[in-house]
Amino acid sequence: MEFLTREEKQTLEARLAALIDARPSVSQRIAEARALGDLKENAEYHAARDDQGMAEAEIRRLELRIAGAQVADEVEKPADMVFLGTVVKLKDLDDNSDDLYKVVGEATGGFDSDEIEVTATSPLGAALMKARVGEEIKASLPRGDKRFSVLAIM
């Protein structure tokens, strides 16, 4: 079972709906390309069929992922424990700096937030899961082992 935040699940559902809504236009592209004639040398037809195949594969992948997902907000957890969707303030014990991290199921790739996104399956995210305020965690990161202290859960 995969845990997602409510927002992540809504994003996946919106992507799925957009792909399903695009089915008629892809079918129309295939029909128009087919009308051009010889299918053996019809690049537009083959491109449209490839697009259709990739879209259908993505629809199936999203449907399975959504069906097997649990919204983290609906799971009972202690308020003082780091879990998916939690924003946590960590102190780097090597240089005494502190930053805000948000544990997510799927990274958005956005950098417009004050929090640094960390996926629950990454080394730091896995170390953070179920940590509590005051605890020290250790994560094996690409640049070596790092130690952090959990200062606050937001």
Q: What is the pLDDT of residue 1?
A: 65
Fold of 2-72: Helix Hairpins (1.10.287)
The H-or-E segment that residue 17 falls in is: helix 6-21
Fold assignment, 76-153: Chitinase A; domain 3 (3.10.50)
Q: Which among 66, 101, 58 has a CA at the least distance from the CA of 82?
A: 101
pLDDT at 101: 93
Question: Phi then psi for 16, rounded to 5 degrees?
Answer: -65, -45
Q: What are the boundaries of each domain within the chain?
A: 2-72, 76-153
Question: Per the structure block, which two tokens stand in for 6?
Answer: 């409510």
Along the 154 residues of the chain, how does pLDDT read in single tens digits? 677 888 888 999 999 999 999 999 999 999 988 888 777 778 888 899 999 999 999 999 999 989 988 787 656 667 788 888 889 999 999 999 999 999 988 777 777 778 899 988 899 999 998 899 999 999 999 889 999 999 999 8
Residues 6+ apart with CB under 8 A from 107: 117, 119
Q: Nearest 5°: phi and psi at 21?
A: -65, -25
Provide the pLDDT for residue 88: 95
Q: Please report the pLDDT score of residue 73 as a whole number.
A: 66
* Contact yes or no for 120/103 (Cβ under 8 A): yes
- Degrees to nearest 5, angle at CA 70 with 66 and 71: 100
Q: pTM of the predicted model, to two decimals?
A: 0.63
